[in-house]
Structure formats: structure tokens, C-alpha cells
Homo-oligomer: A and B are copies of this chain.
Amino acid sequence: MKKIAIVGFGVVGGGVAEILQRNAKIIEKNAGEAIELGYIVDLRDMPDSPFADKMVKDFAVVENDPTVSIVVEAIGGCGAALQFVRRALTAGKSVVTSNKQLVAEHGLELFRLAKEHGVNFLFEASVGGGIPVLNPMTRCLGANELYEVSGILNGTTNYILSQMLEKGESFDGALKNAQKLGYAEANPAADVEGTDAARKSCILAGLAFGGNVAPDDIHVEGITAVTSVDAAFAEAGGMKIKLLGRALVRDGKKYVFVSPHFMKQEQPLACVGDVFNAILVRGSDVGETMFYGPGAGRYPTASAVLGDVIDIVRNPGREQPTGWEAAEEKPASFDTFKARYYIRTREEKALVQQKLGQITWLPDQQGCSGGVTEPCTRAQLKAVGVALDACWPVFE
């Protein structure tokens, strides 16, 4: 029997407690032994919770109980969460978290702490919610040299873009729908401006290529500049618009960035609609593989957290090689990323073509011209002095 503690009894923490109880037999079978909920740490009083007898307010109770071997961090952010995770690891307890900000910003320190104390720090739920992706990528695909890990990493923005393209909604209308359905926060900045996808991209980059990438060091562009005109161009070209977080090696350089992308409808990622997430992994031998599912939500996230807990319980004394090292250099500038680009402009087509070279024009939409360039860099597009109202890579 292994005892765990849940720190933070909100949406995810509550989900973990509930599944642990409801699926106790399945979990015991898969973990090889029973997993008991020892404590729930939360500052709030919750006398009516079915878990009231487990609740404590002081993390020190968990820290000082040698029978607790795993701590599930479900507070979020980098305040108390960081403090408690440090203390748990230092006390020789493994930690499982879904906190992407914590992993993206403090991963290096926490991997080192875990290693020092011979315990694990696992975070499958931090990318792709319930989708198993970090584990399959680092273990099942462990014989591959990985070239690219790119995906639809934020469900809210995927929902908004899907509504814009498939239902003809405006950005504002789609955002309001997302808020009504509980997909978007009242303050949706972290989603629509790409911050959330950026953190996840840094985690994917770290695991795929082994070097730390700081969210502050990458190009992050959300979907606030995507308009109904762009949606109309995508439709006319048999394409979709997706916000992608990408980590890839191209021309010997490492790129990590978040940007809207155009892509042909035949791309596996193009089929990922609604609030779903998907991560595409390209490797030397597997070729292209994709992991699809719910990128957020109480139970999917808790499912991924418990997958990590089971992994730790099944492998006592084993240190998972999950993590990455400090990096010697920052990712290459997005401006040097060579790709076809979708462009939208109000300048004359002949002039644009004269300056940018061959463009595959799409039928005009709402008085604008739009098309796809031949492979070039954003720096090249900027340098020719044509006013572009939009300029995003085509994912191929």
C-alpha cells in the first residue's frame, strides 16, 4: 500500500481524489498495490466534503509523515505550488503535477532536486491534459531521433477557431460561446494570446531535444489577430487555421514558437476540432504519429495525474529519466524560420508578386487579397516593404 497526499483541492485535486476512490480496484491492479489517499492539503474549510477526514491545512503534516511517498501538486501557479513541491522533493517524496507554468519555468531546478533526493517529478498532465503524450514520446519512441513535436495545445483557442471557420462566428462571438460553455476564463488572455500554449511548447521542446527552453525566449503569437477574412481565405483554399505550439529542428537549428498556422485539410492536425488537443510527433524511424484527446477538464487531467502516480508506485526506487538539461543557446529566431507563408494584404497583387515572388493566390475575400508564398522566412517577407495584414506559416 502506498500513501499519497493531494495539495490543492480544486478542480484537478478533487478529480484525483474522486477517481482514486471510484476506481480503487482498477488502480490497485495496474499499480501492483493499493494507493491510499492520506491527506488533502487546502487552506479552505470544507466540512461537507466526503474527504473531510483527510483534510489538513498545514503542508508540514504531509512533509513530516514518512508514510506519504507521493505528493500530487494541484494548486497551480508558481507561488505556494513551487514552495510545496520543493519541500516535498527535499523530504524524499515524489511529486506529480499538471502545472505547466511550474514545469516550464522551474523544471530545471525541480528535476535536479528530484535527482538529488532519488525521487521522481512527473508531469504528463501538464501537456495535452488527459492525452498520454509525454510518456509515449520519451519512452515508446525512445529509439527515435525526434525532429518535431507540434500540436494544438490549447482547447479554448481551438474551439474559437473551429467556430470561426465552421460556423462563421466572429472572434468575439466565438470567445463568448467559449466562456458560456466554461472553456474560457473570464480573463481569456493566457489562452487567446498563446501563453498557455507557449508553456506547453517549452515542455515538449525540453523533452524532445533535451535542452531547457524558457517561455520568455520564444515567439508567441495567439489568435487575437485572426479575422473572419482569414477564415474565408482558409475555407476558399481547402485549409484550416490552427494555433500551433511547435518545437522542431530545421536546417540544423532548433525552433520553438507559438503561432496561428494555415494547413491543408488532409493534415491529421486539421481534423482536430472543437475543444480537443492533439500533438504530432515526427521522428527518424516512426515517421509521423499523433496523440489526440481532451486537453483539459477535471477527469481527463486527473486521469493523467494518476497515470503518473501509478507509474511511480509500480516502479519503486526507480528514477524516471524524465526531464532536460540547461541549454547552451536559445532557440533560433522565428524570423529565420523557413516555410510557406499565408499572407493577407490590401496592396495590389501585381506589386506584391513582383516583390515577394511567386504567390498562390486564393479567391479574393471581402476586398482583400490572400495567398500562399513559396518557402521563405518572415525576415524576407518583412524586408521587401509590402504591407501585410497577416502573415502566418503553413504547416506541412
**A326 interface residue, CB < 8 Å from B?**
no
- Which of B285, B290, B307 interacts with A139 by CB under 8 Å? B307
Q: Are A285 and B271 in contact (CB under 8 A)?
A: no
Q: Which of A272, A289, A303, A309 gathers most chain B CB within 10 Å?
A: A289
Q: How far is the CB of A310 from chain B (nearest CB, A)?
A: 4
Q: Are A285 and B268 in contact (CB under 8 A)?
A: no
List chain B residues, Cβ under 8 A from A290: 290-293
**A77 interface residue, CB < 8 Å from B?**
no
**A314 interface residue, CB < 8 Å from B?**
yes
List chain B residues, Cβ under 8 A from A132: 132, 136-137, 139-141, 289
Contact with B along A117-155 (1 / 0, CB 8 A): 000000010000011100111111111110000000000
A264 to B332, CA, bound (A): 42
List chain B residues, Cβ under 8 A from A315: 315, 318
Q: Are B314 and A299 in contact (CB under 8 A)?
A: no
**A26 interface residue, CB < 8 Å from B?**
yes
**A288 interface residue, CB < 8 Å from B?**
yes
**A266 interface residue, CB < 8 Å from B?**
yes
Q: Are A144 and B23 in contact (CB under 8 A)?
A: yes
**A358 interface residue, CB < 8 Å from B?**
no
Q: Are A293 and B288 in contact (CB under 8 A)?
A: yes
List chain B residues, Cβ under 8 A from A302: 143, 285
A18 to B238, CA, bound (A): 40
Q: Are B140 and A124 in contact (CB under 8 A)?
A: yes
Enumerate A259-294 residues with CB–CB distance to B below 8 Å. 266, 268, 270-273, 276, 283-294
Q: Are A293 and B286 in contact (CB under 8 A)?
A: yes
**A306 interface residue, CB < 8 Å from B?**
yes
Q: How far is the CB of A240 from chain B (nearest CB, A)?
A: 11
Q: Are B293 and A27 in contact (CB under 8 A)?
A: no
**A311 interface residue, CB < 8 Å from B?**
yes
**A304 interface residue, CB < 8 Å from B?**
yes
- Which of B131, B270, B284, B314 interacts with A289 by CB under 8 Å? B131
Q: How far is the CB of A8 from chain B (nearest CB, A)?
A: 18
**A32 interface residue, CB < 8 Å from B?**
yes
Chain B residue nearest to A298 in the complex (CB) = B285
A143 to B306, CA, bound (A): 6
Q: Are B142 and A26 in contact (CB under 8 A)?
A: yes
List chain B residues, Cβ under 8 A from A124: 140
Q: Are B284 and A294 in contact (CB under 8 A)?
A: no
A142 with B310, Cβ < 8 A, contacts A135-B136, A321-B32 known:
yes
- Which of B29, B139, B276, B287 interacts with A311 by CB under 8 Å? B139
**A30 interface residue, CB < 8 Å from B?**
yes
**A370 interface residue, CB < 8 Å from B?**
no
A168 to B278, CA, bound (A): 30
Chain B residue nearest to A287 in the complex (CB) = B294
A132 to B146, CA, bound (A): 14
A289 with B293, Cβ < 8 A, contacts A139-B307, A304-B140 known:
yes
Q: Are A143 and B23 in contact (CB under 8 A)?
A: yes
**A107 interface residue, CB < 8 Å from B?**
no
List chain B residues, Cβ under 8 A from A205: none
- Which of B26, B136, B138, B139 interacts with A143 by CB under 8 Å? B26
Q: Are A294 and B299 in contact (CB under 8 A)?
A: no
State the 10 A-B residue pairs at the shortest beta-carbon distance, nearest first: A289-B293, A271-B271, A132-B140, A143-B306, A30-B142, A132-B136, A285-B303, A290-B292, A285-B299, A140-B307
